[in-house]
Amino acid sequence: MPAARGPAAAEPPPGGYRRGSAGYRRASSAAFLAGAGTFALLYGAQALLPQLSDAFGVSAATASLALSAATGAIAVSLLPMSAASGRWGTSRVMTASLAAATVLALLVPLAPSFWLLLVLRAAQGVAMAGVPALAIAYLGRTIHPSALGGAVGLFVAGNTMGGLSGRLIAAAVSDLLDWRAAFAVTAVFATACLAAFWWLLPTRGAADDERAAAGRAGAAAPGARRSVLVHLRDPVLVRLFGLSFVLMSAFVTVYNYLPYRLLAAPFVLSATVVGLVFLAYVPGSVSAGVAGRLGDRLGRRTVLWASVLLAQLAILLTWPDVLGCVLAGLVLFTVGFFGAHASASTAVTHRAVRGRAQASALYLTAYYAGSSLGGSLSGLAFAAYGWTGIVGFVTCAIVLAAWLVSGVWADRG
């Protein structure tokens, strides 16, 4: 058996690693880094949408396709990636996924046209899909149920910090140089995350055992395809999948079009300063972990309700053309979104006793479909009504989210 690549790697004890153990820290830290690298690549483009509009002479709605192409490709690739884990192992698929995404990221700055850039971003989305498809299922198999909420919250926090880092790096570099350099530097950051993720993974032998465990789970379930059908017949899971779609539609809408608003009158901020508004992700990162732990103690439905209501109040706060209100509303909206996302994704893992990889993939398929469709369609509202159109679009999404939460079963276990 090959030597371990980092800290000594032991197989999880019966029931999984408990909070505070070395195994828990290793597994959750690796998931954090995988999320950070993936989401830096994915969302760095969001900070560059106004620059892409200027460089290629396209509208805000069209420029948003630079993000939607990647998130849409992720949405259609999640289930195939989930199935691939049963053949090659979760850790291997996640590693290959992030490695391919970083290679493609180095090609994006070379795109001579906007449409070729979209093709590369779509290919990158396919490559990236392995991490969000498998990370939560991986944690569900290796972490003890009593600590799962915190571990999933840490993975969501990694997503948050990766998205924040990618946006900040892209905004600052594009202001100093251009959008091509911004994409390139973001790719270097993701490569560093990949190296750290690989270092923290278990030995090859542990990965093989993990693949065998995934195979046993697949044998115990009626098969991946049947698992998908079983999940789609579960009304609670369907509501959670719908919740994922509408919340992500609202969230990506706010972050896609807020930079356009802040660059224009009456704010007229620079690209670097506008990039700093993404620091709202910091409290979002904290809220994901807190929501996960509160969900373990108080029940996820309670946390979902509180998070959704907070998001609605927050989007109304961004309506006036007052910078302080806009920034405060953005922070609270981000906290509400990530609290809801962490709670809902953990609820999916708890609800799906079998076929967890497929359940997580369905949840995230809805999540990225919401990002792709909602993020682009809301551009029509922005073009017609400005920020008032965005507030109306997001409010409709949150009202639908509240209806979905009202029927969600709450697991307090």
pLDDT in tens, 124-175: 999 998 887 778 777 777 777 777 777 777 787 788 788 888 989 998 999 8
Q: Determine the residue type at 404.
A: L
Band of pLDDT at residue 12, cut at 50, 70 and 90: low
CATH number for the domain including 69?
A: 1.20.1250.20
Q: Let me know if residue 323 belongs to a domain.
A: yes
Band of pLDDT at residue 218, cut at 50, 70 and 90: very low
CA separation for the pair 17, 206 (Å, rounded): 14
Report the candidate in 156, 28, 133 with the shortest Cα–Cα distance to residue 359: 133
Q: Is the pLDDT assigned to residue 20 strictly greater than 90?
A: no
**Count of the separate structural domains present in the chain:** 1
DSSP 15: T
Question: Helices (DSSP H) in 201-234: which residue ranges?
Answer: 204-220, 224-232
Q: Let me know if residue 373 belongs to a domain.
A: yes
Do residues 261 and 312 make contact, with C-beta atoms less than 8 angstroms apart?
Answer: no
Q: Is the pLDDT assigned to residue 102 strictly greater than 50?
A: yes
Q: Let me know if residue 78 belongs to a domain.
A: yes
Q: Let me know if residue 238 belongs to a domain.
A: yes
Helix axes 145-176, 130-142, angle to 10 degrees: 150
pLDDT tens digit sequence for 222-248? 566 777 888 888 888 999 999 999 999
Give Cβ neighbours of residue 197 (< 8 Å, ≥ 6 apart).
30, 33, 34, 37, 94, 95, 98
Predicted TM-score of the model (pTM) = 0.79
Band of pLDDT at residue 17, cut at 50, 70 and 90: low
CB-CB neighbours of 209 under 10 Å:
15
Q: Let me know if residue 102 belongs to a domain.
A: yes
Amino acid 209: pLDDT: 42
Q: Let me know if residue 313 belongs to a domain.
A: yes
pLDDT tens digit sequence for 21-47? 777 777 778 888 888 999 999 999 999
Q: What percent of the chain has pLDDT over 90?
A: 42
Q: Let me know if residue 89 belongs to a domain.
A: yes
Print the domain residue range for 186.
22-405
Q: Let me know if residue 296 belongs to a domain.
A: yes
